[in-house]
Structure 1
Amino acid sequence: MTRILFAGTPDVAVAPLRALVEAGGDIEVVAVLTRPDAPQGRGRRLMPSPVKEAAHELGLPVIEANPRTEEFFASLDEFKPEMAAVVAYGNLLRQEALDAIPGGWYNLHFSLLPQWRGAAPVQRAIWAGDDITGATVFRIGPGLDDGPIVAQSTTKIGTHETSGQLLDRLSLDGALLLRSALQGLIDGAIIPQPQTEGAFEHAAKIHPDDARLRLDVPAFALDRQIRACTPQPGAWTMLHNGDEEPLKLNILEAVIDETTDFGTDKPAPGQLKVTKKHVWLGTSTYPLEIKQVKAQGKKQMLAADWARGARLVEGAHCE
């Protein structure tokens, strides 16, 4: 039996944790490393991470100590893990921590490495217009996501898929990949292979300012940006409605409309065109039909319902 430390924090790491716990065979999860409770919601109450909640449900001990502290290394002495599995843990692992587990730390990364190393591989793949992505299990080393590869799986990116939807799929697929990869390492059936050398795109984190929509670009570019930034950090624009103060408008769902005949009334880039059942936003090519929005201070709703309540005037536009 190989003793495994699991390290993870958000929802996307829960399915892989459960898969390892249910694996049986030579895999035994002995403890879970996660980030400390964090303030959430309007009340900023301290809340446990999804992985911590899952660990408690599964009856597993939880380590919340920073991996650079004596408390963390004392926990390793207590639980004596032989290998570690990492999924979106969210904390830097220094060499001292990497060396403390003899069988190594193995990360489940949601891209086809060496493409999209970094913090936001799923979002960046969608934003770039990739057709295919996947998951990779690799051994963590001192570099950024550049350790030897243990296993990979591929999947197509759906035409209308958001980063949240794709990440949910990859979490489930990756859970099985991680389980089989660790078992293969334990059996000696898998020998990690170095990553391909070359220049590859880096998946930099997407900040809220990055998610502001540029409206002077083709519809396909806006569509990718919206899907990449949904649900986090949320694609947004500023709505200008007559003499009212501009307000922030999050666009949660939109589709490119290549079929409606607007004649000479096609909306210009940034211009809103509204009917009883439809809301369109002009781009430099085809309009986007807006399906779901969240206006500043309001809840998420259908765009047509929002537009009726917003009482948009002639000339209402986004920028």
Structure 2
Amino acid sequence: MRIVFAGTPAPALPSLQAVAASAHDLVGVLTRTDAPVGRKRVLTPSPVAAVAAERGVPVVKTDRLDAAATDAVASWQPDLGVVVAYGGLVREPLLSLPRYGWINLHFSLLPRWRGAAPVQHALVAGDRVTGASVFRLVAALDAGDVYRELRYPVPRGATAGDVLAELAVRGAELLVQVVDDLAAGTAVARPQEGEPTFAPKLTIADGLLDFAQSAERVLDRFRGTTPEPGAHTTVDGQRLKVLAALRGPDADLAPGALALVGRDVVAGTGDGTVLLRTVQPAGKGPMAAADWWRGLRLHDPRVGS
């Protein structure tokens, strides 16, 4: 089949590479426009754009799948469209343009966590099993029938970045299986079952840790917002990013109270402690929490203060 691929960030790369290496013909790529990156805000092609260019695949960069994008796709004469984390909605008439329509690799077990940030929301909610689904794209958000899915037990301590990286690789294999099924005429899709939950894009505010909650809930939010948008708290009115944390030792600490236990900095929660391993104070680079602690000049330091 002739395939057009729509994707933008690094998690889409395993799928792009898998489609390119398959028995099918990758005829074009849609991706979002170059974005400013780094402190100097240098305009940089998306990861998908960069890899597609290396492979010599035609690329259209657009933030809106409008008439111009539809005309470009039509010129490629695709049999099937594939979407992996493009960052925009495919609407008519583009939705019906490929002969077999569009399929989408989504990083959740649908209908749970429809939307832009399924892995992050799954971990924040404390889901211990998540996965990936390949479904038929329809006009409604992530609501199409599912061709295949895989289940993935979340490893203890894994962050959203860890889980997304693993699902990106495993999901790419699942995606190509569905492409092969469609080409062979053996693909079977089933309607989604159950009550949908939704996963909108996270903001910086979603990374705020509430140490009045249980240690497990604090760590769920830490893992779900790491590396993006980033977990954080405040100490003496100064923002403190939390880059690495885990369940702490038993200690008699009030929620939010900080203490040095042995060589570890721990914070009290609603039912135990969280060990802060790596932090980043405002205006400084990442550092061991113990080094940060030694630089404090507070009599009674507290997170959230």
TM-score (norm 1): 0.92
How many residues are aligned here?
304
Q: 2:92 aligns with which of 82, 95, 114?
A: 95
Question: What amino acid is aligned across from residue 238 of structure 2 in structure 1?
Answer: L
- Report the CA distance between 1:129 and its aligned residue: 1.4
Q: 2:266 aligns with which of 255, 272, 280?
A: 280
CA RMSD of aligned residues (A): 1.4
Asked if structure 2 preserves the Cα contact closer than 8 Å seen for 1:211 and 1:233, the reply is yes
Matches of 1:287 and 1:68, distance apart in 2: 48
Question: What amino acid is aligned across from residue 148 of structure 1 in structure 2?
Answer: D
- 2:214 is aligned to 218
Question: Aligned with 1:282: secondary structure?
Answer: strand
Asked if structure 1 preserves the Cα contact closer than 8 Å seen for 2:110 and 2:196, the reply is no
Question: What amino acid is aligned across from residue 281 of structure 1 in structure 2?
Answer: A
- Please list every run of at least 4 consecutive aligned residues from structure 1 whose deviation after the TM superposition is greater than 4 angstroms: none
Question: Is residue 255 of structure 1 aligned with residue 223 of structure 2?
Answer: no
- 1:191 is aligned to 188
Question: Aligned with 1:191: secondary structure?
Answer: coil
- 1:243 is aligned to none
TM-score (norm 2): 0.96
Moved more, 273-282 or 98-107: 273-282
Matches of 1:67 and 1:202, distance apart in 2: 23
Cα offsets for 1:128-154 (capped at 9, x unmatched): 111211110001101111101111111
Task: Assess, with a 3 A threshold, how the Cα gap between structure 1 residues 47 and 256 changes in structure 2: closer, same or farther.
Answer: same
Question: Aligned with 2:299: secondary structure?
Answer: coil
Q: 2:230 aligns with which of 213, 234, 238?
A: 234
Asked if structure 1 preserves the Cα contact closer than 8 Å seen for 2:28 and 2:73, the reply is no
- 1:271 is aligned to 257
For 1:6-155, list aligned pairs within 5 A: 6-24=5-23, 27-155=24-152
Question: What amino acid is aligned across from residue 219 of structure 1 in structure 2?
Answer: A
Identical pairs, percent: 38
Question: What amino acid is aligned across from residue 267 of structure 2 in structure 1?
Answer: L
- Report the CA distance between 1:276 and its aligned residue: 6.6
Question: What amino acid is aligned across from residue 40 of structure 2 in structure 1?
Answer: G
Task: Assess, with a 3 A threshold, how the Cα gap between structure 1 residues 32 and 68 changes in structure 2: closer, same or farther.
Answer: closer
- Report the CA distance between 1:217 and its aligned residue: 0.8
- 1:313 is aligned to 298
Asked if structure 1 preserves the Cα contact closer than 8 Å seen for 2:215 and 2:274, the reply is yes
Asked if structure 2 preserves the Cα contact closer than 8 Å seen for 1:281 and 1:288, the reply is yes
Matches of 2:302 and 2:64, distance apart in 1: 49
Cα offsets for 1:170-226 (capped at 9, x unmatched): 000001000111111110111222111x42322232211121111211101001000
Cα offsets for 1:105-143 (capped at 9, x unmatched): 100000011111112111111111112111100011011
Q: 1:292 aligns with which of 275, 278, 296?
A: 278
Matches of 1:228 and 1:175, distance apart in 2: 22
- Report the CA distance between 1:66 and its aligned residue: 4.5
- Report the CA distance between 1:74 and its aligned residue: 2.5
- Report the CA distance between 1:318 and its aligned residue: 1.3
Asked if structure 2 preserves the Cα contact closer than 8 Å seen for 1:14 and 1:51, the reply is yes
Question: What amino acid is aligned across from residue 11 of structure 1 in structure 2?
Answer: A
Question: Aligned with 1:56: secondary structure?
Answer: helix
Matches of 1:114 and 1:290, distance apart in 2: 35
Structure 1 unaligned blocks of 5 or more? 241-245
